[in-house]
Every structure is written in structure tokens, then in C-alpha cells.
Amino acid sequence: MNAVQLSDGHTAPTTLLVWDAPNIDMSLGSILGGRPSSASRPRFDALGRWLLEHAADTAPEATVFTNVAVGSTDFVRPWVEALRNTGFAVFAKPKIEDSDIDEDMLAHIRARGAQGVLRRVVVASGDSRAFREPLEDLVATGVGVTVLGFREHASFAVNSEVLEFVDLEDIDGLFLQPLPRITLETLPPEGAWLAPLRPLVSLLRTQGAVTPPGPESL
């Protein structure tokens, strides 16, 4: 049975935010070309302020869902405590085989929905397989749904006719510096620099030579 964190029995109309930490981290890592550093991770105080603003006359409620790998607790603990001190609940699950948290997130949404309090659900994830159908079903019941994510990784929401989409980088103050999101499809007229994804000296640790194809072969 999935663990579900219910609120303290309040029945006020609620705006519920659930944050899919593994999926957002994976999407952010893809944009950055490597594991996100502490400086490049989203600021949850800014996210909290955004939620307070958009909750309007409803009660805001937010939970971050995450996996905790064996041996990583010393690294994860300060982050979890910072989230809790900011006002976020945290659902943490050991990262073992078949430890996906998608169903836990959906179970939490269903449980709050069964209490009849949901007015809006905000889901931070780009996982179409897990969330598209359940979120569209919520809209059909009259609950507003917003998906937070990166447009490159959340096309199911970007292109949806019923789901609202907000790009995470459009939330004021969420990132301390602009993300490197220039692609070959979004080049400005004046051109753009595309930074290397790893240092050149990493070639010294590479076995054998790797020659990329020339433009004519692409």
C-alpha cells in the first residue's frame, strides 16, 4: 500500500503542489549536460512564493516526492530539512528496485481529491506516461491543473488543450542564473555559443579516439 500524507483534516479549498524530484532533476541534468550543482538547483523559497501568489483564496499545500539512495543520506538530509523549514512536506522513499514514486504522488492527489477540497493541482514533472491521463481526468471533474516543467521535456503539457503549462524558468527567482537552453532549433539570428558538456582534459581518461561525424554526414 502506498504511503499517503494527509493534511490535518482541514476542509478549506486547496491548491495542491506535488514536485517529482527525480524527474525534475533528470530533466535539469539534461539541460545542464551533467548533474545539477547546488548553485544550479531550483530555489524552493521562490517556488513557495509563486504558489502562495497563485493559490489566491485557496489554502496552499506542497509536497516534494523523492528517492533516497543507499549511502546518500548525509547529502540528502540538509536538503530535506531545508525544504521542511521552507514549508514543504517531503515524502522520501528508499531508492531500491521498483521504488518509483509516481504512484505515491498519484495516491496523494487521489486522497486529497477524495476529501473534496481540491480546487487546483500543480504537478512539477515531465513524465507523460505517469501523469497525462490522471491529470486530464482531474480537469474533467472541474479541478484546475497546472504542470510545471521544462518545455523541452514536458511536451504533453505544452501541447495540451486542457492542461496549463508553466516553464520552471519563468518562475521569478527559481534559478539564480539563466539555464543554458539554446539549441540548434532555437538559435538567435546573431548566433550563440554552445559550451562544452565536459572539460577537454577528460579525453586523457578516454580509451581510444572518438571522432564526431562532420556536418555533411548529419
Please name each of the domains of the chain with its CATH number.
14-181 (3.40.50.1010)
User: How far is residue 103's CA from residue 100's CA, in Å, rounded to a whole number?
Assistant: 7
Residue 124: is its pLDDT beyond 90?
yes
pLDDT in tens, 165-217: 999 999 999 999 988 887 777 787 899 887 776 778 888 876 554 555 555 54
Count the Cβ atoms, other than its own, within 10 Å of residue 127: 22
Per-residue model confidence (pLDDT) at position 1: 36
Gyration radius (Cα) of the chain, Å: 20
Segment 111-122 shows an average pLDDT of 96
Residues pairing with 164 in the sheet? 146
pTM for the model: 0.82
pLDDT in tens, 126-177: 999 999 999 999 999 999 999 999 998 999 999 999 999 999 999 999 999 9
> CB-hemisphere CA count at 13 Å for 163?
29
Q: Provide the residue count of the chain.
A: 218
Q: Are 146 and 15 in contact (CB under 8 A)?
A: no
Among 99, 112, 95, residue whose Cα is nearest residue 18: 112
Among 123, 128, 130, residue whose Cα is nearest residue 103: 130
Q: Which of 46-55, 75-84, 163-172, 177-186 has the lowest mean pLDDT?
A: 177-186
Per-residue model confidence (pLDDT) at position 100: 84
Q: Are 63 and 18 in contact (CB under 8 A)?
A: yes
Residue predicted with more confidence, 4 or 173: 173
Q: Are 58 and 32 in contact (CB under 8 A)?
A: no
Residues pairing with 123 in the sheet? 18, 147
Three-state DSSP class for residue 27: helix
Q: Categorize the per-residue pLDDT at 21 as very low, low, confident or very high, splitting at 50, 70 and 90.
A: very high
Q: Are 118 and 16 in contact (CB under 8 A)?
A: yes
Which amino acid, residue 95?
Answer: K
Per-residue model confidence (pLDDT) at position 51: 98
What are the Cα distances from residue 154, in Å, to 134, 197, 217? 15, 22, 30
- Torsions phi, psi of 164, nearest 5? -80, 140
User: How far is residue 10's CA from residue 167's CA, in Å, rounded to a whole number?
Assistant: 30
Where is 146: in which H helix or E strand?
strand 144-149
Within its chain, how far is the Cα of 180 from the centroid? Answer: 17
